[in-house]
Amino acid sequence: MKKNNSIKTVVAVGIGAALFFVLGRFVQIPSGVPNTNITTQYAILGMLATMYGPVAGALIGFIGHTLIDLSWGGAPWWSWVIASTVVGAVVGFMGKKLPIHEGVFGKKEIVTFAIINVIANAAAWLVVAPVLDIAIYAEPAAKVFAQGAMAAFVNSVTAVVIGALLCIAYSKTIAGKGSLDAE
Amino acid sequence: MAAKTVLNYLPRKSVVHALTGTTKLAFFLLFTFAGMLTYDTRVLLGLLVVSLLAFRVSRIKVSEVRFMLVFMLIFLLLNNFFVFVFNPNQGTEIYGTRHVLLPLPGRFAVTAEELFYLFNITLKYFVALPVAMLFISATDPSEFAASLNSIGVSYRVGYSVAIALRYIPDIQRDYHNISQAQQARGVELGRKEPLMKRLRNAVNILLPLILSSLARIDVISNAMELRGFGKKKKRTWYTKKPFGRNDYLALLLGVLLLAASIAITFADGNRFYNPFM
């Protein structure tokens, strides 16, 4: 059983990174603010990290984000790639106790999921990304923190709203323990 | 359609293509780190020359990567604009002098230092551009997992990357089909709907995509388990090429560039080359 899980993690990272890539690269929802689009990949990252754990989450963020950057034709912007990695790792680490796999995702789990995702996104975009931007690229602090705040806000909202809705919908597809009633 | 613009491998007979994937990956990483560490204009210009030469010998035409180039230029322009707007005096802070070229009102006076700083940011990013493009367009994706493994990454992670590259087009097609089907039923992601409705609609499209992807994960991991994946600590690769003379030369060049970049940049204890003092 243990073996199978590790193979599953390998595959989940691969497919997860592919999903992250497709959503981040091609799927954009207009946010209402001109030229600013909402991308949904952090919702999927939050969900998959919760399901497959911190290592899978970190790798999905890292591989997916690196591929997105490469596909735009440049060298990866490593500071933000690492920030995505942090989001996956933190959500996976704090969310591994959530029983999505058993088909349970009620009010309590939704609140926990939301808090975890906000913490992870805040840590990544308000701390990791700007600090690395300053260290590597020596960009003005005001600019990188403004960008970070924007990213933290947008990604938290998508992760919480879309991610939670996805988790609820997914958990309903799994028959939970003791869901049979004796007649 | 759009899949063509993503990580497109352009097979060609050239010195660069003949190198092993391992060499290309290692060189790419060494080179980007050399470019990332330094802010020294002389080092950056030197790296740019190497980068452009490598692009030249690869026989890949500029017209083939024009899309990426244009996108990157727009990105860099925007980035420079924001760097300037948020702090027009970053250059002065770094270089310690102030030569005003264009006295605009308030703090927005354009200084020579700021322009030189913006030039360096652009250069820093631009240096890695040809090498990154080469890495994408001259590396056979099927060789990629083997290359990752041979620079010391666990082969499981290498496999994850290979799976990601393999399934990106499939997932893209799935997404396309699902979103068309949902749009036919009136699920809209565009500006016509209010924002919250848009997010809910996104869920209606994403959920089938997630469910089909999770099913895919099961199918693939079962198939891999049946074939004994993960049984041993090491594995061999069908696509792995043996190292040749040019591979060692390219790696040596990569290491030398990184060492030179570090040595020159930090020789005077400052990451920046300062022409103003």
- B129 contacts in chain A (CB < 8 Å): 73-75
> Which range has highest mean pLDDT (A72-76, B68-72, B163-167, B196-200)?
B163-167
The pLDDT score that the predictor gives to residue A32 is 63
Confidence category of residue A4, pLDDT binned at 50, 70, 90: low
Task: Check CB contact under 8 Å for B162 and A15.
Answer: no
- A25 contacts in chain B (CB < 8 Å): 6
Task: Pick the residue from chain A with its C-alpha nearest to B38.
Answer: A136
- A136 contacts in chain B (CB < 8 Å): 36
| pTM flag (> 0.90) | no
CATH no. of A2-172: 1.10.1760.20
How far does B100 lie from chain A, in Å, by closest CA? 19
Tell whether A135 lies on the interface with B, counting CB pairs under 8 A: no
Which residue has better confidence, B92 or A132?
A132
CA–CA distances in Å: residue A13 to residues B4, B164, B208, B242:
23, 8, 19, 29
User: Bridge-partner residues for A28, per DSSP?
Assistant: A39
Tell whether A110 lies on the interface with B, counting CB pairs under 8 A: no
Task: Check CB contact under 8 Å for A43 and B191.
Answer: no
Instruction: Tell me the C-alpha distance between B227 and B243, whole Å.
Output: 29
- A137 contacts in chain B (CB < 8 Å): 121, 124
Domain ranges (residues) in chain B: 2-140+241-266, 149-226
Write a three-state SS string for chain B: CHHHHCCCCCCCCCHHHHCCHHHHHHHHHHHHHHHHHCECHHHHHHHHHHHHHHHHHCCCCHHHHHHHHHHHHHHHHHHHHHHHHHCCCHHHHHHCCCCEEECCCCCCCEEHHHHHHHHHHHHHHHHHHHHHHHHHHHCCHHHHHHHHHHCCCCHHHHHHHHHHHHHHHHHHHHHHHHHHHHHHCCCCCCCCCCHHHHHHHHHHHHHHHHHHHHHHHHHHHHHHHHCCCCCCCCCCCCCCCCCCHHHHHHHHHHHHHHHHHHHHHHCCCCCECCCCC
Tell whether A36 lies on the interface with B, counting CB pairs under 8 A: no
Instruction: Tell me the C-alpha distance between A181 and A120, whole Å.
Output: 39
> pLDDT tens for residues A99-121?
777 777 778 888 888 899 999 99
How far does A140 lie from chain B, in Å, by closest CA? 6
CB B131 within 8 A of CB B31: yes
Q: Take residue B213 and report the two structure tokens written for it.
A: 């992807």
CB A166 within 8 A of CB B206: yes
- A22 contacts in chain B (CB < 8 Å): 168, 171-172, 175
Amino acid identity, position B43: V
> pLDDT tens for residues A139-173?
888 888 888 888 888 889 888 888 888 888 888 88
Confidence category of residue A178, pLDDT binned at 50, 70, 90: low
DSSP A29: E
Task: Pick the residue from chain A with its C-alpha nearest to B127.
Answer: A75
- B175 contacts in chain A (CB < 8 Å): 22-23, 26-27
> pLDDT tens for residues A44-57?
999 899 888 899 99
How far does A122 lie from chain B, in Å, by closest CA? 21
Tell whether A143 lies on the interface with B, counting CB pairs under 8 A: yes
Tell whether A172 lies on the interface with B, counting CB pairs under 8 A: no
Task: Pick the residue from chain B with its C-alpha nearest to A8.
Answer: B221
- B148 contacts in chain A (CB < 8 Å): none
Instruction: Tell me the C-alpha distance between A53 and B213, whole Å.
Output: 17
Burial class of residue B228, CB neighbours in 10 A (0-12, 13-18, 19+): exposed
